């Protein structure tokens, strides 16, 4: 699963802010945006049957 949801909104890697604060500490450690998106979808995937198993198919 490619995390392309942010394409068009961000043209280059940027530090994560409060956009994805649902990931907990990930929003405050200054990780790259793409990694935060991956962590966000993993977080959502852990709570949703729909996303289970899709994250490792990249």
* pLDDT tens, position by position, 5-41: 554 444 444 444 445 544 555 455 555 667 777 777 7
CA–CA separation, 21 and 43 (whole Å): 11
Structure tokens at 22: 């649902």
Summarised one tens digit per residue, pLDDT across range 48-57 is 555 555 555 5
Among 58, 6, 53, 54, residue whose Cα is nearest residue 32: 6
What pLDDT sits at residue 45?
63
CA–CA separation, 58 and 49 (whole Å): 18
Q: What are the C-alpha distances in Å from 9 to residues 12, 29, 33, 47, 58?
A: 9, 21, 11, 26, 21
């Amino acid at each position: 699963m490619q995390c392309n949801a942010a394409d068009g909104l961000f043209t280059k890697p940027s530090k994560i802010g409060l956009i994805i604060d649902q990931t907990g500490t990930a929003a405050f450690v200054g990780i790259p945006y793409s990694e935060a998106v991956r962590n966000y979808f993993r977080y959502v995937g852990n709570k949703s049957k729909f996303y289970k198993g899709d994250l490792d198919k990249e």
